[in-house]
């Protein structure tokens, strides 16, 4: 059984847990010169060790010596095309699997199962749960509006306000609709947003889209944080429609979030979409929970980054990305 899985089969949360950055080809293997691109590393170079590690289990379980007939067939194939060049291998993520990969028949749900699901005792009749990702969704999120509006009405009463006064009569419903909009990312998935906008293209130079506006909700205080996102990746014969990078930001920012997780989820989603040689994401945010409450530091900004693949292994590649992001 192979220890690798196609990234397209993995959900964002599965990748978030399974990704192992240390198994990317190292910087001294992947020189970004035009005559030695990151996408054309030969199987006889340092990448072969990655494949050897990935296939070590299957090789250990198949130690039987070939029969004389098989040896003859192998020798004939070897002499038939002596000038055939070694096949090239695109760098791929090696996913941590703890030794086994469960077989799937296509019936398993694609969303990850968290400790609280519809099958958890005491939760059989719950509409939905939220624990980093939705386990099971309601028929429509609009169906939640009546309960949410009632909750906002109770909140107003708890603050000592009169929910029936003129200015607050429709506030619970408006607030419920606003919260559904702020968290609309829960209704979106990567496959729907990409909509087939992944294209085969012989391009292996850096692609950067920077200063993408981002609005999100702090999951600790339910107040906004906002800022900008810059994304870079090194394609391996696949490129992504530029607007889709901004839409990926929308998927994960329009949720209850922390900036650290948001940064990594964006990087993992880009990796899942086009399987590049590396992904880099930098997020700069202003958190209202630090501005309008608490320490009240109005000029503070939070910067987080996620570097995967050659962006982590190769200082020159990382420096090139950061220079492009910071240039005006």
**Residues annotated catalytic, as ranges:** 218-221, 259, 287, 289
In Å, how far from its chain's centre is CA 184? 17
Q: What angle do CA 42, 44, 50 make, to 5 degrees?
A: 90
Residue with tokens 């072969």: 48
Instruction: Report the candidate in 245, 146, 141 with the shortest Cα–Cα distance to residue 187.
Output: 141
Contacts by 288-294, CB closer than 8 A, 24 or more apart:
288/218, 288/223, 288/224, 288/225, 289/218, 289/220, 289/221, 289/223, 289/225, 292/223, 293/221, 293/223
Q: What angle do CA 236, 56, 15 make, to 5 degrees?
A: 45
Residue with tokens 């002499």: 79
Burial class (CB within 10 angstroms; exposed 0-12, middle 13-18, buried 19+) of 186: middle
CA distance 308 to 280: 6
- Please check whether residue 245 is in contact with residue 273, taking contact to mean a CB–CB distance below 8 angstroms: no
Q: Could you give the 3-state DSSP secondary structure of residue 95?
A: strand
In Å, how far from its chain's centre is CA 103? 23
């Amino acid at each position: 059984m192979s220890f690798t899985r196609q990234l397209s089969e993995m959900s964002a949360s599965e990748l978030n847990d399974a990704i192992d950055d240390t198994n990317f080809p190292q910087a001294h293997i992947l020189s970004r010169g035009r005559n030695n691109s990151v996408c054309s590393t030969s199987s006889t170079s340092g990448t072969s060790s990655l494949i050897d590690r990935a296939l070590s289990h299957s090789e250990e379980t198949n130690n039987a010596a070939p029969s004389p007939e098989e040896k003859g067939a192998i020798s004939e194939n070897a002499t038939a095309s002596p000038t055939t060049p070694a096949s090239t291998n695109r760098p791929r993520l090696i996913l941590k699997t703890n030794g086994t990969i469960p077989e799937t028949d296509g019936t398993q749900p694609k969303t990850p199962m968290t400790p609280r699901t519809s099958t958890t005792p005491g939760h059989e009749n719950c509409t939905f749960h939220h624990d980093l990702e939705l386990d099971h969704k309601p028929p429509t999120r609009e169906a939640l509006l009546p309960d949410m509006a009632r909750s906002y009405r109770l909140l107003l009463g708890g603050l000592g306000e009169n929910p029936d006064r003129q200015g607050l009569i429709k506030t619970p419903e408006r607030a419920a609709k606003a919260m559904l909009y702020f968290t609309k990312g829960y209704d979106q998935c990567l496959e729907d947003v990409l909509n087939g906008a992944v294209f085969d293209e012989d391009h292996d130079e850096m692609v950067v889209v920077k200063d993408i506006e981002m609005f999100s909700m702090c999951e600790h205080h339910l107040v906004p944080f906002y800022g900008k996102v810059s994304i870079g990746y090194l394609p391996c014969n696949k490129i992504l429609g530029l607007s889709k990078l901004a839409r990926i930001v929308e998927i994960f920012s329009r949720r209850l979030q922390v900036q650290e997780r948001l940064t990594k989820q964006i990087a993992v989603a880009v990796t899942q979409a086009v399987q590049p040689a590396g992904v880099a994401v930098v997020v700069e945010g202003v958190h209202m929970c630090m501005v309008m409450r608490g320490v009240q530091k109005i000029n503070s900004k939070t910067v987080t980054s996620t570097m995967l693949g050659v962006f982590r292994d190769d200082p020159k590649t990382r420096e090139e990305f950061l220079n492009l992001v910071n240039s005006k």
